[in-house]
A and B are shown apart, each in its own frame.
Chain A
Amino acid sequence: MNVLAQSPGLLVAVPLAGAAISFVAGRRRAPHVAITTALVVLTLAVALAVHVLDGGPFRYQVGGWGAPLGIDLVADGAAALFLVLTAIVGLVVTLYATAYFRTDDETAYGHGLFWTLWLFMWTSLNALFLTGDVFNVYVCLELVGISAVTLVTIGGGAEALRAGARYLFASMLGAMTYLLGVALLYAATGQLDMDVLRTTLVADTTAATGLALMIAALVLKTALVPAHFWLPAAHGSAPSPVSAVLSSLVVKGSYFVILRLMLDVMPAGYLPGVDIVLGVLGSAAIVWGSVQALLQTRIKQLVAYSTVAQIGYLFLVFPLARHGADVLTLALTGVLVHALSHGLAKGSLFLGAGSLMTRFGHDRIADMAGAARSAPALTFGVALAGVTMMGLPPSGGFGAKWLLVSAALASGEWWWAVVLVIGGLLAAAYMFRLLSVLLVDAPTELHASKGDIRTEWLPLALALGAVLLVLAIPLVSDLAAASNVLIHAGVTP
């Protein structure tokens, strides 16, 4: 059998194996296990993307049983993009973590446990992106949620514990609501497989209620305003590598499920008005999150609120999807590019924030003057990530904004374009609030960077990736065309 065709299974199996091995490998060897795993997963993700590009989406049957009995994995273009994103950010975060957690104190940060939890979360995320079954989505969400909550609290401290409790509450509330939705859906249709549901779903109050509950639960997990209450605390107080993963990857997991449910599984107009509500909430998130980011005085809080805002963009695809194939293609490509660029840039920002906090010994933005002089690569990385956040050319963020603005204008609903533009400007406002301090030339005594270039250069590498993404837009566009959404909408033959 072609190894490329096996990649979905391996993408789940390899990190799971890595998690297990790192658990038994011990504190010293665990990082090596993690790095190896990350490299393999990246290779597999790229292989899967190549395979999808070549032959289109495909189903993979775990253990060879077909639906409805076995577990089916579905690999399409959109999933491939998220998997590759996860792999890239995952690799960089893993490398960063080897420097960040390197300390002689054996108990700090639960050491070995971090690697295991992280690889386990990666496993769950990959599974979430690949699963083709609404119940398995629940399972994956639970696994991601539990490992994420644990990772948030791994650093200890009262603040992290409070944030973890809040996160756990949100996670459980979301999972329960979702499960209730699945139950209703199953009661009404007797189906759990998304492909089957797509072809069999008919107008039915119970099924509709179920799906609405599932969407609401996923909205909570994605932290869309007004359900964002848990995110700033959790992302802001977790250790920086964890924040990076949570902000750039974990919220995308639940978003990806909404995307599939709304645009692929449900026929057009199935939950009438929900698409508009999601668009409106997305717009509210853009404005509210940005304004709050502007008001923050601590660096990770700023970055976390920026996530609240950036998530909003992802939801603009839903109201735009009603306007025909051309607009749908533009909008879907736009949100996929946005998910990628935000993932890379937000990873860079959280890692960069972590490095800055380590070097300064505190997290107060106002007292971070002089960073440009003492840590130029780091500052430059933050600045580049900022550029893509603002959606300025040439960057991935610009590509996303361009595509979404074009979609809005082509749909005739120009007000979404206004929201996008305002969001970009507000992003500029909060990013430059940070950057203008970093750029000030002040005599500063920074803590040594522990003689490690990783914490200086890895944020820059991720940011560069976010910027150079603009050149890869044709590729993203091809993968978007190979997504089930566009294939089932008849855009791609």
Chain B
Amino acid sequence: MTPVLPAGIGSLTFSLDETGTPFLILFAFLWTISGLYAFATTPAGERARLFAYFVPSALGGVTVALAGDAISFYLCFALMAIPAWGLITHVGTPEARRAGAIYLTLTAIGEAALLAALVIMAVEADSLALPVLAEAIGTSPLRDIAVALLLASIGLKIGTLPASGFLPLSYTYTPAGAASALAGASAKVGALAMLRLLPAGVMPEEWAYVVMALGMATAFLAAILGTLTTTPRAVLGYSSASQMGLILVAAGVSLTSVEAAPLAYGAIVAFSLHHGLAKSALVLGDDVVSRLTGSARTAALAALALPVLALVGAPLTSGFVAKYALKDAVHALHGTVPEAVYALLPWTAIGTAALMLRFFALTRERTAETRVSSPRIPIALWSLVLAAVALVVWIWPAQWNVHAIESALSPSSMWTALWPGLIAIAGWMALRYAPRSAQRLTGIVPPGDVLLGLAAAVTAADRWLAGRSRSRGVTARDERADIGHSLRAAERSAVAWTAASTLFVLLVLLLVALGTR
């Protein structure tokens, strides 16, 4: 039997390697904390239903970091993504259901693309082991289609344009604990897939440029959409999309350059760790704030500043280091596009800063809800995440880290990190004096943007089709009745005496004429 065939569960390999370790730690930490948070904040009667989805999702979400071959990777990928649907639709409102439907559709498409890519890679490599797969596809004639499929799958997972609404949709209606896991861990599987599956340094430059451009476009556009959306959770979703756009830039770098690939990989890991923790902290923080009143609320809002600053990339935060790593990677490439991207990178921080301001404002406005459970356990869990946000990059022993941290401490880089935030704050201030019509713009983007339109179009087409097939059935029946009537009439006249005799005489004449021809 060739190795391209699955030999059942026994053939699945799970192993821990250098690439997987940071992800394993991140995923395990976030899924555990989120699970505990969800358990603590979910009413007892709903727990079973929520955890029916949460447990398999977490299982897949953590073990995916250990998957060592194509099939186990796909298995974990699917195991995490599909049950997450139940988390999104948990509240059962029509909006949540619609969000779930869109989520499931895109997830299913992403899964399909991933499976197709894996199959092609397995065939080309004649093996199932992940490292072999990425290597073999680089020299295969099917390279382009495989990479395109991989990018499509990854792009859907991380909410790249035009699917920028994917992440906001998946966070907005999900209960906080589960949303924290989705926000922190789920999209990072896309980052892991970049490291595991994308071939390094084999694609033509154009490929890398397109991917980088797409990443940058997502980073900017998602930020704009996010500032115009309605709920704190949706803002966070767009922020994730924007940040993951930056990760995609790093992936683009790795595609074309062997030399820059290690740097790019470093950036991807750094971004994943930083963003995963920070975003989780924000989601939980938003929920914690809504449970508190008075001074506790003020304190919580203040603590929220930590992940906010990290995301903006303020000096001495994890985001600062991650962004530096990314810049390093882009800088290693030469050419018009990489240089333009390099120049534009700091400007993305303005968008992030604007998003964070908007988030902060929305969270502050949230009315406190009365909850049955005591907020103590949620606060404790949140604090753990906050601590992780503060410390992670500083204690992480890795090559990229050392270099990035060294550079990060220089004054010039500090300034680079600061000015976008200042511009955003200035803009925010200026907006207060802006005309009312401009202010009304905030809130015009529903979470999900174009995806909602697409979904509505599909529903409308479906209704139209259903209506058409019904009306067609009726006319067919009438026609049948008419035909039957005229056939009966024809036979009645054919068997009448005169007609019958005439027909017979004609038959005789015909036969005689033929016979004596």
**Using a CB–CB distance below 8 Å, which chain A residues touch chain B?**
166, 169, 173, 177, 205, 208-209, 211-213, 215-216, 219-220, 226-230, 232-233, 270-274, 277, 288, 291-292, 295
Q: Are B504 and A173 in contact (CB under 8 A)?
A: yes
Give Cα A416 to B512, complex, Å: 24
Return chain B residues, CB-CB under 8 Å to A212.
Answer: 508, 511-512, 514-516
A-B pairs with beta carbons under 8 Å apart, 27 shown: A169-B497, A173-B501, A205-B516, A208-B516, A209-B512, A209-B516, A212-B508, A212-B511, A212-B514, A216-B508, A226-B494, A226-B500, A226-B503, A226-B504, A227-B504, A227-B507, A228-B495, A229-B503, A230-B495, A270-B515, A272-B515, A273-B517, A274-B514, A291-B487, A292-B488, A292-B491, A295-B488
A226-B494, A229-B494 known; A216 vs B507 contact (CB < 8 Å): yes
Return chain A residues, CB-CB under 8 Å to B473.
Answer: none
Q: Are B515 and A211 in contact (CB under 8 A)?
A: yes
State the interface size on chain B (CB cutoff 8 A).
22
| CB nearest to A184 among chain B residues | B512
Q: Are A209 and B487 in contact (CB under 8 A)?
A: no
Return chain B residues, CB-CB under 8 Å to A230.
Answer: 495, 500
Which of B496, B503, B514, B515 is the most central at the interface, judged by chain A CB atoms within 10 Å of its CB?
Answer: B515
Give Cα A187 to B501, complex, Å: 27
Nearest chain B CB to A278 CB, angstrom units: 9
Q: Are A295 and B484 in contact (CB under 8 A)?
A: yes
Which listed residue (A205, A209, A219, A232) contacts B495, Cβ 8 A? A232
A212-B511, A295-B487 known; A220 vs B517 contact (CB < 8 Å): no
Return chain B residues, CB-CB under 8 Å to A274.
Answer: 511, 514-515
| CB nearest to B491 among chain A residues | A292
Q: Are B495 and A272 in contact (CB under 8 A)?
A: no
| CB nearest to A214 among chain B residues | B511
Return chain A residues, CB-CB under 8 Å to B488.
Answer: 292, 295
Nearest chain A CB to B69 CB, angstrom units: 51
Tell me, yes or no, whether B7 is within 8 Å of chain A by CB.
Answer: no
Q: Are A292 and B487 in contact (CB under 8 A)?
A: yes
Return chain A residues, CB-CB under 8 Å to B507.
Answer: 216, 219-220, 226-227
| CB nearest to B500 among chain A residues | A229
Binary contact readout B473-510 vs A (1 if CB under 8 angstroms, 0 otherwise): 00000000000100110010011110111011001101
Q: Are A220 and B504 in contact (CB under 8 A)?
A: yes
| CB nearest to B511 among chain A residues | A212
A220-B504, A277-B510 known; A229 vs B495 contact (CB < 8 Å): yes
What 4 additional pairs, Cβ within 8 angstroms, besides A229-B503, A277-B511, A295-B488? A169-B497, A212-B511, A274-B515, A292-B487
Give Cα A229 to B503, complex, Å: 10
Nearest chain A CB to B497 CB, angstrom units: 8
Give Cα A232 to B495, complex, Å: 9
Nearest chain B CB to A40 CB, angstrom units: 39
Return chain A residues, CB-CB under 8 Å to B504.
Answer: 173, 216, 220, 226-227
Return chain A residues, CB-CB under 8 Å to B484.
Answer: 295
Give Cα A142 to B517, complex, Å: 30
| CB nearest to B495 among chain A residues | A229
| Chain B contacts with A in 132-177, Cβ cutoff 8 A | none
Give Cα A385 to B300, complex, Å: 87
Which listed residue (A219, A220, A271) contacts B514, Cβ 8 A? A271
Return chain B residues, CB-CB under 8 Å to A226.
Answer: 494, 500, 503-504, 507
Give Cα A288 to B494, complex, Å: 11
Q: Are A227 and B500 in contact (CB under 8 A)?
A: yes
